[in-house]
Amino acid sequence: MLTSFFPVLYGIAVLLLLWQAFRVMGRGLGAHQALTMNSVKRTNSTEDRTGRLTVHPELLDQDGRITDEELLTVRFSGDTDPPHSTEASAE
pLDDT in tens, 36-71: 766 555 555 555 566 677 778 888 888 888 888 887
Q: What are phi and psi of 63, to 5 degrees?
A: -90, 0
pTM, full prediction: 0.36
d(CA 9, CA 28): 29
Per-residue pLDDT at 50: 67
Q: Residues 31, 37: contact at Cβ < 8 Å?
A: no
Band of residue 10 on the pLDDT scale cut at 50, 70, 90? very high
